[in-house]
Amino acid sequence: MHYRVIHKTEYDYCESVGLSYNEARLLPRFTANQSCQAASLTIDPPPTDYSEREDFFGNRVAFFSIREPHQRFIVTATSEVQIASQFGQLDFSQGTDWENVRLSLRQQRDPQTLDALQYVLDSPFVAANAELATYAQPSFPHGRPLLEAVHDLMGRIHGDFTYDPHFTTLATPLAAVLEHRRGVCQDFAHLAIGCLRSQGLAARYVSGYIETLPPPGKEKLVGSDASHAWFSVFIPELGWMDFDPTNNQIPVDQHIIVGWGRDYGDVTPLKGVIFGGGEHELAVSVDVRNLGD
Amino acid sequence: MERSCLVFPGLNSFRVCMTSVFSESQQNNPDPWYPTSLDSYDEMLDGDGQIRPQWEYVIRALRTLGIPELERRGAKAAILLRENGVTYNVYGDPAGQSRPWQLDPVPLLVSSEEWGGIEAGLQERAELLNMILADIYGPRELIRKGMLPLELLYNHGGFLRACDQIALRGKHQLVVYAADLARGPDNRMWVLSDRTQAPSGAGYALENRVAMTRVLPSLFRDSHVHRLALFFQSLRAGLNTIAPPGAENPRVVVLTPGPLNETFFEHAYLASYLGYPLVQGDDLTVRDGYLWLKSLNGLERVDVILRRVDDDFCDPLELRDDSRLGVPGLVEVVRRGNVSIANPLGSGVLENPGLLAFLPGIAEHFLGRPLRLPTAATWWCGQPKELDYVLTNLDKLVIKPIYRNPSLRPVFGHLLSQQELADWRDRIRSSPTFYVGQEQEGFSTVPSLVPGGLEPRHAVLRSFLVARADGYVVMPGGLTRSAPHKDEMLVSNQAGSISKDTWVLASEPERPIELVIKPTAEQVAASQSGALPSRAADNLFWVGRYAERAEGTIRLLRSAIKKLHGDPDRSGNEYTESLHSLLRAVTQLTGTRPGFLAEDAETLLSEPEAELLSVALDETRIGSLANTLRCMVQTGYAVRDLWSSDTWRVMDDLEEHLLSAKRLVQPTLWQVQDVMDQLITSLSAFSGLVMESMTRGNGWLFLDTGRRLERSMLLLSLLRTTLVEQRRANVEILLIEALLDTSDNLICYRQHYRNNMELAAFLELLLLDENNPRSLAYQTARLQEHVGKLPREKSAARLSLEQRLALEVASTLRLAVLDELTRVSESRTRENLEQLLARLNFLLVALSDAVTAAYFRHESVPHSLTPLRTT
């Protein structure tokens, strides 16, 4: 599937900003079944310094600095991405049981497993704890294949939690999300990651987009008007496999990946330090066009 | 036998346990001079109670000196150190008090022969840590090969992912390194902990040495002690080595968190000793991929940072976004290789006690041999067998978190109750990768001076290394710190340890090396003109203003008190009226309203003592003398690196007088007068030193501009409150006399005009006489000169705003006609005088604002953008 994504972020300041330093993780990375044919940032006002690099997790990062005094700051990321459909029919009852996966994460020393091990560890936004383990527990009976367990966990989160954009903020701790059973895609992704880490499994946070206008006959997905987030689990025989708890589905070819990390903090789309500005307003719009196969 | 313990929390946390029986020691060792226990290794005495050879000479000399004399020398050292401003700030002290540095005059002695082994061991350890650091932020081969567990590294807060794959050119990533050493039961020196982030203490070691050579000069000279100066030359060489390519004469700065940091003294001291500008994060800015110092001459490129800010605070964009101590964009500049930092960002990752468990294997891997210097046996709980061992033996071990964290201090198993042990076992089991268990070792004692004699104290030696192109150089000596008490003992700077100089004894005399490194001509030029950070210029300007304000306040308070107590005729109306006028001037000048200017000030005016005391001593009252002096000292402290040692000594005197005034119980105006006399002497010494010994660079220019501005404004304020309104002739005579006294002009006036107190003559002398250094005309002439010399763009042909304002002030004053000024209107006011004074005041305020705007760039505080949540 071929998509064009236009992601526009706009900050309006009350006072003039004389200087800003920014870091954007808005350029989609390459993955096994996603190739990024073109991606660029349009920055207004134009930066005096701009450079791109790959970060610790292999995500594409743009660093830039604006010296021109401004009261409005707009970053528009335009990308064209080709996605090959993932996975055919999956048999959830197959595959290694979750306890053995947990064991092999600690015993295997091949590069891929070693790399996965870092996603078992706590991260700034997601630390495993007893409450998360308790919530996760029903999905993880003894001997259950990992794929089936995660699929079940995703379904439970989708069923138990209410999508509510007004309940949480960036600062809402995972414990509050768990207690009140409310949140947005970022919270659900964090929650699932926390549940998996509390079982000793490797899970990472994926930042990206989903198709805005669904194909005829299909329902519009939640989270399509802004950037979206889901999670990915390391399954030794399949590698990393994505799950979208907000929509209760396994992404096939409607999810465009920008980057991944331990949690939101590693893949924040746009960060900045500014001098001046006072109060500011923020508006984000995302448009994902399906350009066909 | 009693077990006593030595605890080192805070910066270097470890615990040492040993057995000691001081009660029995008297019997073991009948020498009352040094009653030591022989149960643990003593540095001075061997197992038979005999003095070890390297101690013989020194201890004989100290014995000859005698304890009382040694105590006197110790006290002298304390005074020297205090006068030099050697302090250690204690966190959590609301008054921001700094603690004087304590030095025990009995040094720790190490023979040259033994030192050779220690030195080689430290160099080897530094090389190994350097290789580990390079691997961690490079290929991470140690993890891939299983020699370092991934969890141990990735769970450590010091592992900065933003710094991955960044390396300094050259083979050394670990530029400066410090290790805490103590002698173990096997008579060998052990490494207790490694300092790789921003090791502190080298500056204190140097100050200790300077003090020791002053108080025990002949002993020092005859003992053939290795000198420290070479180490600091190596530090400079090492910093030059890491500079980015192309930087011929690299500009190095010392980055400090600021005056509130616990070791700020050392930051300022090192900056000044090494000849580098001392800067805070907001003195620096990132532009076009380079780092720049915001100096008076504009932006100047920075090549190397000697870093004393913890690495995660260095860049709010890529590291901690709540940091106010860093420079946004700094990591990117480092990444592009355009600035080098010592130690590199991320080097704190080596300060991980869990690493100790894997060092032997890594040493085999990289060096092909075990390390020479031993460390305490350590078990990292992230492995099942080790976890079991720690849980089983918890009551005998020290529990440490792998990452330094103020809320996680080391815990000593043997001090825990059964319940606490059980709680700790749960905690460790729930996150085993975060903890290590470590064996407790017993360590040696050193002779320490205590009231009345010498006693054994447990001590730790911090030694310092710096990487040069050809390898690590070890400071021959270091900072020894000993426990303040002999029982349960806390040894850390925060808890008040006592420091010692460390003497490595050469077998033959060393060629003396000048202790003070002579900076090159370029460095002097750089540090005195262009490189003056604008924040430093700002501070100097305000030191000038506060110093002058304090002096003016004292002079006026003294006149008021003199009038109150000292006037021979205190009955008449004229006396009362002139006194009240002076009292109102006190309130006006100090800005301590309402005070004597209140609507209903009658009672206050008739009983002014309490209010005068408050204006003098109440530090919490803005504008009071004590408050102004506090501001002056604090502002001066922030630019500690720019003062000569003599000037700093005067600052210290001011602080002392201030403290002694604070200690007065139910102070009287008489006592306050005494204190103020001392203060005036110190303030005059300060001005004298500034005039006589400060280079006439930009720094001086700003200080003196501040001083002249303030003196002018004080004079204007004084005249406006006292002489604009016409009073009876006799009252005016009394007032003029008092004002002449206040402005230190009485003698001068009498020489010119005898005792004929006349307003016109008075105004002539105080306002218009350009030859009188206390007149307004004199101040404005100086201001005009100064403002003309302030740095500005060479191309600017027109006068700057500051120049125009200074010119207008001086001209306005010169054009004033004396006869018109004294003219009185029908409403009994001198309207012309008031108009002139008001105009001048307006212009001076505008001038101060213009200087501030042009030179003291106060950018708004940076803050992070709120990112949008992903929904």
Measured in angstroms, the CA of B136 and the nearest CA of chain A are apart by 12
Contact indicator for B478, B463 with CB cutoff of 8 Å: yes
* pLDDT computed for residue B48 by the predictor: 81
Amino acid at B764: E
B791-807 tens-digit pLDDT:
876 656 788 899 999 99
**Nearest-CB residue to A284 (from B287, B860, B868):** B868
Residues 6+ apart with CB under 8 A from B393: B413, B437
Beta carbons of A274 and B863 less than 8 Å apart: yes
Beta carbons of A271 and B867 less than 8 Å apart: yes
Question: What's this model's pTM, rounded to 2 decimal places?
Answer: 0.87
- Quick one: how far is CA B39 from the chain centroid? 40
For residue A266, which residues of chain B lie inside 8 Å, CB to CB?
Answer: 161
Q: Select, from the ranges B18-22, B278-282, B489-493, B858-862, the one with the highest average predicted confidence (pLDDT).
A: B278-282
CATH, domain range A98-266: 3.10.620.30
B502-518 tens-digit pLDDT:
999 987 665 555 555 44
Q: Is a pLDDT exceeding 70 seen at residue A144?
A: yes
For residue B871, which residues of chain A lie inside 8 Å, CB to CB?
Answer: 165, 184-186, 223, 226, 228
Beta carbons of A23 and B289 less than 8 Å apart: no
Q: Is a pLDDT exceeding 50 seen at residue A267?
A: yes
For residue B866, which residues of chain A lie inside 8 Å, CB to CB?
Answer: 170, 280, 282
Residues 6+ apart with CB under 8 A from A261: A57, A59, A123, A204, A205, A207, A267
Measured in angstroms, the CA of B145 and the nearest CA of chain A are apart by 8
B195-247 tens-digit pLDDT:
999 999 999 999 999 999 999 999 998 899 999 989 999 999 999 999 999 88
* pLDDT computed for residue B102 by the predictor: 87
**Can you tell me the distance from the alpha carbon of B310 to that of B317, in angstroms, rounded to the nearest whole number?**
15
**Can you tell me the distance from the alpha carbon of B554 to that of B547, in angstroms, rounded to the nearest whole number?**
11
Point out the least confidently predicted range of A215-224, B284-293, B315-324, B377-386: A215-224
Exposure on the CB side of residue B106, measured as CA atoms within 13 A: 29
For residue B860, which residues of chain A lie inside 8 Å, CB to CB?
Answer: 18, 275-276
Top residue of B291, B864, B870 to mutate, by most chain A CBs within 10 Å, is B870
Nearest to A1 by CA among A286, A288, A254: A254
For residue B335, which residues of chain A lie inside 8 Å, CB to CB?
Answer: 53
For residue A274, which residues of chain B lie inside 8 Å, CB to CB?
Answer: 862-865
**Which tokens belong to B314?**
């260095």
Nearest to A98 by CA among A46, A151, A159: A151
* pLDDT computed for residue B610 by the predictor: 94
**Can you tell me the distance from the alpha carbon of A271 to that of A281, in angstroms, rounded to the nearest whole number?**
15
B541-557 tens-digit pLDDT:
999 999 999 999 999 99
Q: Is a pLDDT exceeding 90 seen at residue B383?
A: yes
* pLDDT computed for residue B659 by the predictor: 87
Contact indicator for B440, B15 with CB cutoff of 8 Å: yes
**Nearest-CB residue to B154 (from A51, A118, A277):** A118
Domain residue limits, chain A: 2-84+268-290, 98-266
Whether the ω angle into residue B245 lies within 30 degrees of 0, i.e. cis, is no
Measured in angstroms, the CA of B243 and the nearest CA of chain A are apart by 22
Contact indicator for B152, B386 with CB cutoff of 8 Å: no
Measured in angstroms, the CA of B861 and the nearest CA of chain A are apart by 6
For residue B162, which residues of chain A lie inside 8 Å, CB to CB?
Answer: 55-56
Total Cβ atoms within 10 A of residue B778: 19
* pLDDT computed for residue B36 by the predictor: 58
**Can you tell me the distance from the alpha carbon of B705 to that of A135, in angstroms, rounded to the nearest whole number?**
69
Residue with token string 């036998």: B1
* pLDDT computed for residue B496 by the predictor: 65
- The contact set of B with A (CB < 8 A) is 143-144, 146, 150-151, 154-155, 161-162, 164, 285-289, 316-318, 321, 328-329, 332, 335-336, 431, 433, 859-871
DSSP code of residue B313: G
Residue with token string 């396994």: A250
- Quick one: how far is CA A227 from the chain centroid? 9
Beta carbons of B150 and A48 less than 8 Å apart: no
Residues 6+ apart with CB under 8 A from B746: B737, B740
For residue B287, which residues of chain A lie inside 8 Å, CB to CB?
Answer: 48-49, 65, 67
Amino acid at B807: L
Total Cβ atoms within 10 A of residue A28: 27
For residue B289, which residues of chain A lie inside 8 Å, CB to CB?
Answer: 49, 51
In degrees, rounded to 5, the angle at the alpha carbon of residue B445 between the alpha carbons of residues B442 and B448 is: 155
**Which tokens belong to B814?**
């010169």
Q: Could you tell me which chain A residue has the CA closest to the CA of B163?
A: A56
Measured in angstroms, the CA of A282 and the nearest CA of chain B are apart by 8
Top residue of A13, A273, A281, A284 to mutate, by most chain B CBs within 10 Å, is A273
DSSP code of residue B517: P
Residue with token string 């399949």: A238
Q: Is a pLDDT exceeding 70 seen at residue B86?
A: yes
Contact indicator for A126, A190 with CB cutoff of 8 Å: yes
Measured in angstroms, the CA of A271 and the nearest CA of chain B are apart by 6
**Can you tell me the distance from the alpha carbon of B482 to that of B402, in angstroms, rounded to the nearest whole number?**
25
Nearest to A78 by CA among A292, A221, A288, A257: A288
Query: B8 or B343: whose pLDDT is higher?
Result: B343
Nearest to B164 by CA among A53, A222, A11, A35: A53
Beta carbons of A49 and B865 less than 8 Å apart: no
Which residue spans within B409-553 are E strands per DSSP? 411-412, 435-439, 445-450, 453-468, 471-474, 479-482, 489-490, 498-505
Exposed, middle or buried: residue A76 (CB in 10 Å: 0-12, 13-18, 19+)? middle
Beta carbons of B862 and A274 less than 8 Å apart: yes
Strand partners, A62: A24, A52
Nearest to A5 by CA among A84, A82, A78: A78
Nearest to A250 by CA among A237, A263, A265, A240: A240
Contact indicator for A149, A203 with CB cutoff of 8 Å: no
For residue A186, which residues of chain B lie inside 8 Å, CB to CB?
Answer: 869-871
**Can you tell me the distance from the alpha carbon of B661 to that of B626, in angstroms, rounded to the nearest whole number?**
9
Query: B455 or B136: whose pLDDT is higher?
Result: B136
Measured in angstroms, the CA of A92 and the nearest CA of chain B are apart by 28
**Can you tell me the distance from the alpha carbon of B806 to that of A23, in angstroms, rounded to the nearest whole number?**
46
**Nearest-CB residue to B870 (from A49, A114, A186):** A186
B472-491 tens-digit pLDDT:
999 999 999 988 776 434 45
Total Cβ atoms within 10 A of residue A228: 29
Beta carbons of A55 and B336 less than 8 Å apart: no
Beta carbons of A184 and B860 less than 8 Å apart: no
In degrees, rounded to 5, the angle at the alpha carbon of residue B591 between the alpha carbons of residues B589 and B595 is: 100
Q: Could you tell me which chain B residue has the CA closest to the CA of A275?
A: B862
Chain A and chain B share a number of CB contacts under 8 A equal to 118
Measured in angstroms, the CA of A87 and the nearest CA of chain B are apart by 26
Nearest to A116 by CA among A262, A234, A241: A234
Measured in angstroms, the CA of B327 and the nearest CA of chain A are apart by 10
**Which tokens belong to B132?**
């580990």
Phi and psi, residue A123, nearest 5°? -135, 170
Point out the least confidently predicted range of B39-43, B384-388, B713-717: B39-43
**Can you tell me the distance from the alpha carbon of A242 to that of A196, in angstroms, rounded to the nearest whole number?**
13
Residues 6+ apart with CB under 8 A from A113: A104, A105, A234, A236
Total Cβ atoms within 10 A of residue B868: 17
* pLDDT computed for residue B568 by the predictor: 67
ipTM of the complex: 0.95
A99-138 residues labelled b (16+ CB within 10 A) or e (exposed): bebbeebeeeeeeebbebbbbbbbbebbbbbeebbebbee
Domain residue limits, chain B: 110-200+224-353+458-526, 534-693, 708-856
B628-646 tens-digit pLDDT:
999 999 899 889 888 888 8
**One CATH from 3.20.20.450, 2.60.40.2250, 2.30.30.100, 3.40.50.300 for A2-84+268-290:** 2.60.40.2250
**Can you tell me the distance from the alpha carbon of B531 to that of B697, in angstroms, rounded to the nearest whole number?**
11
For residue B150, which residues of chain A lie inside 8 Å, CB to CB?
Answer: 114, 117-118
Mean pLDDT along residues B104-127? 96
**Which tokens belong to B194?**
């490694």
Top residue of A21, A162, A263 to mutate, by most chain B CBs within 10 Å, is A21
Beta carbons of B870 and A184 less than 8 Å apart: yes
Beta carbons of B317 and A65 less than 8 Å apart: no
* H-helix or E-strand spanning residue B104: strand B103-111
Beta carbons of A19 and B859 less than 8 Å apart: yes
